[in-house]
Structure 1
């Protein structure tokens, strides 16, 4: 498990990273970014993670293993898709949603769905969900909104989405997507690389991403070993 100090260091490290990312994006729109490798979107590898927000195994994967795509340069060749509500079910009688770990999990799934809907920058939505999942492991769900201020990100749009119940409606989409997995998931987290489920080897996703990537400019992590 990630220690409190490690988790806090990683979360707080995202704040200057987000500012640098936005600054670089702005400057590159005006001048040619010579020397920066370009990774065509069509060449990027799809990495999908199906999870439940209060599942300890999922939380540890998100804040420990998955963080490696940012600590290394793997994110440059990856389209990351996070899919909450993976073990939730829709009651066909009254159309309500039940979550494996109860009401608190449904609420956190809903909040994370709003984050994914409102923040389209992978650096931002991953940073927020990382922070949420770390606090969930710590048993500090009441402090979730602090993540926005810690990361310097606006909270109004996401909290309005959550309070209106839009996150639950988004959850129906995620539940439907999970239900159509082929083969069906048998445990969580269920990690898929370019439609290929990794099964029990999900923590080794880096090697699968590198193998699936067909671009010319490979990141350093794919060249090592």
Structure 2
């Protein structure tokens, strides 16, 4: 099913793609609030913290982070103080010479990145689209990512609008946007999961995202999720190698019996 869906479905407009890659400045795509703008927590209304997660669907480290760590924000009051953004692109890249999109962990990953991008775009509601992402990543951990369509029925979510988004080319355009955004991160993303809290890229410290969120949140009311954390429990230096598992660019990791890296054809025009 995944291979059939992938064949010839990711269709871009040549003009739109060129504008995204070559013409638009990064500020038109990437926007993070500046925590330095918050001066006095007693005189302003609490401002939500932006949490952005750059990932790819079949990276084992991404799947583990989404299922075992990030999902906890929905179990406490942390979700109430953040704007959670999921960016499913990761280490994929455009090959301009032969008009292809190359996904690090195979053709299936390109499909699942696009399906998840469509869910984010169609539903808007973070509770809905994260539930689908969580389900797909849970199946990926178990080596059953090819059963991803079962997530719709198990969650009681409509499948048709997501498949329509995929099949009518909208998903391909969303992937172009995510690809452009990821390529213009500064400093550049070098592995996934790549986590950003407001304008702070966490790098090796991504598992401590809760601490960074709590430190960035300015309010007289301390969320329960932040009360038990030691203050400023973050790394003061950058290690050469991440403490937690990651997927580096160019380092394919087969979670299942994925075939070697394949390419999805992207037709221009």
TM-score category (smaller protein): 0.7 to 0.9
Q: Quick one: distance in 1 between partners of 2:87 and 2:76?
A: 22
State the SS of the aligned residue for 2:129: helix
Is this contact kept in 2: 1:112–1:129, CA < 8 A? yes
Alignment of 1:57-76 (within 5 A): 57-76=61-80
Match of 2:112 in 1: 108
Match of 2:102 in 1: 98
Match of 1:139 in 2: 143
State the SS of the aligned residue for 2:152: helix
State the SS of the aligned residue for 2:191: coil
State the SS of the aligned residue for 2:57: coil
State the SS of the aligned residue for 1:67: helix
Is this contact kept in 2: 1:109–1:167, CA < 8 A? no
Q: Quick one: distance in 1 between partners of 2:173 and 2:95?
A: 14
Match of 2:163 in 1: 159
With normalisation by structure 1, the TM-score equals 0.79
Gaps of 5+ in 1: 1-39
Q: As a proportion of its length, which structure holds more helix?
A: 1
Match of 1:33 in 2: none
State the SS of the aligned residue for 1:43: coil
Is this contact kept in 1: 2:46–2:217, CA < 8 A? no
Q: Quick one: distance in 2 between partners of 1:41 and 1:75?
A: 17
Deviation at 1:41, TM superposition (A): 9.1
Match of 1:89 in 2: 93
1:222 corresponds to 2:226: yes
Is this contact kept in 2: 1:63–1:134, CA < 8 A? yes
Match of 2:124 in 1: 120
Q: Quick one: distance in 2 between partners of 1:165 and 1:127?
A: 23
With normalisation by structure 2, the TM-score equals 0.66
**Cα displacement string for residues 119-163 of structure 1 (whole angstroms, at most 9, x for unaligned residues):** 111111111000011112222223211111111111110111112
Q: Which of 1 and 2 has higher RCO (CA within 8 Å, sep 6+)?
A: 2
Higher-Rg structure is: 2
Q: Quick one: distance in 2 between partners of 1:62 and 1:54?
A: 11
Gaps of 5+ in 2: 1-43, 230-269
Match of 1:210 in 2: 214
Q: Quick one: distance in 1 between partners of 2:137 and 2:197?
A: 22
